Chains A and B, each alone.
Chain A
Amino acid sequence: MTEYLVRFLVGGVVVSAFAMLSDVLRPKSFAGLFGAAPSVALATLGIAVYRHGPDYAAFQSQAMMAGAIALAVYSVVVCHLLVRARLRAAPATLLSLVVWLIVAFGLLTLAGGQT
C-alpha cells in the first residue's frame, strides 16, 4: 500500500513539473515536446530500480521503446484528427488511444516480448 502511495505522489509531482514547464515555454510547438516528456517513466523507473534492481528496470525500458514509437504514431494521428476530421481535443486524443494500443502491442509481439 505504501509503495502505491509513494508511486502516486512521485508520479503526480514529476508529471505536474513537466506540465508546468510545458505551460510556460514558447513557442507552442516547442512546448509540445514536453507533452511527450518521460515523466511517468522517470518516476516508475526510479521506483523499479529501488524495488527490483537495474535488470528489471532495463527490461522495462526495452519495452518502453515500442511504447515510444507507438506514441509518435499516436501523436500524428491525433494531429490529423484535429486538423482534417475537425474533432475536438478530447475525442481525438481518446479515440487515438486505440492506435497506440495496436502499435505498441504489435511491436512488442514482433520483438518477441514476454508477458
Chain B
Amino acid sequence: MTLIRFSPSSLREGRWYEYLIRFALGGAVTVFTGLISSRYGPSVGGLFLALPAIFCASATLIEKHEIRRKREAGFAGERRGQGAAAVEAAGAALGALGMLGFAIVFSLTVESSILVAFIGSSLAWLVVSVAAWRVRRKMRSVRKASTCYREP
C-alpha cells in the first residue's frame, strides 16, 4: 500500500517568481470569473469556477522542475518531464470528479446553511477525490498482477 506523505523539501525546488506567478494567476482567474458572472450571469460564470487555468501553470512548472532535476543529473529529461506532467493530469481527472461532488453538495446545502455548504462541499471534494485515487491505484495494481501471472 502506498503511503501518502509530505515532502517539504520540494518547496525549495521552486523559484520565488514561480510562486508569484501562481498567486497572480489565481487572483486573475478569480477576477476573470467575477467579470464573466457580472457580464453573462451566474450560469456562465459558474462554468468558469472549474476553468483549468491554474492546472496549465502547475503542469508546466512540474515538467520544468523534472527536466531541471534530470539535467542536473546529466540527462535530457524531456520525456521524464512530460511523464510527470501526465501523472499530474491523471490526478487532475480524478480531482475533477471530486470537484463535481463539491458542486453538487454546495448547490444542495447553501440555501439552508452557508457554513454547512462550505464545510460539506470541501469534505465532499476530498472524500470523492481520495476514493477515486484509491480505486484507480487498486485497479492498476490488479491489472499489473494479472499481466505478470502466466498460466503454466
A residues in contact with B62, CB < 8 Å: 28, 89
Q: Interface stretch among B5-13, B68-76, B141-149?
A: B5-13
A residues in contact with B35, CB < 8 Å: 4
**In the assembly, what is the distance between CA of A7 and CA of B52, in Å?**
18
A residues in contact with B45, CB < 8 Å: 44, 60, 63
Once the chains bind, are B86 and A15 in contact (CB under 8 Å)?
no
Closest to A8 in B: B27
Once the chains bind, are B54 and A19 in contact (CB under 8 Å)?
yes
Number of B residues contacting the other chain (C-beta, 8 Å)?
86
Once the chains bind, are A57 and B110 in contact (CB under 8 Å)?
yes
B residues in contact with A63, CB < 8 Å: 42-47, 49
Give B67-91 interface residues, CB cut-off 8 Å to A.
78-79, 81-91
**In the assembly, what is the distance between CA of A7 and CA of B38, in Å?**
13
**In the assembly, what is the distance between CA of A29 and CA of B138, in Å?**
13
Q: Is the interface of B mostly helix, strand, loop or mixed?
A: helix
Listed from nearest, the 6 A-B pairs whose CB atoms lie closest are A32-B91, A15-B26, A11-B30, A63-B46, A36-B95, A67-B50
Once the chains bind, are A4 and B42 in contact (CB under 8 Å)?
no
Partner of A4 from the list B19, B23, B34, B86 (CB cut-off 8 Å) is B34
B88-114: CB near A (< 8 Å → 1, else 0) gives: 111111111111101110110011001
B residues in contact with A65, CB < 8 Å: 100, 103-104, 107
Instruction: Give the distance to chain A from B40, nearest Cβ to Cβ, in Å.
Output: 5
Closest to B55 in A: A35
Partner of B51 from the list A24, A40, A52, A76 (CB cut-off 8 Å) is A40
Q: A68-B102, A71-B99, A78-B59 given; name 18 further pairs at CB < 8 Å.
A: A10-B30, A25-B4, A36-B95, A36-B99, A56-B42, A60-B43, A61-B107, A64-B46, A64-B47, A65-B104, A66-B47, A68-B100, A75-B93, A78-B85, A93-B60, A97-B52, A104-B50, A115-B41
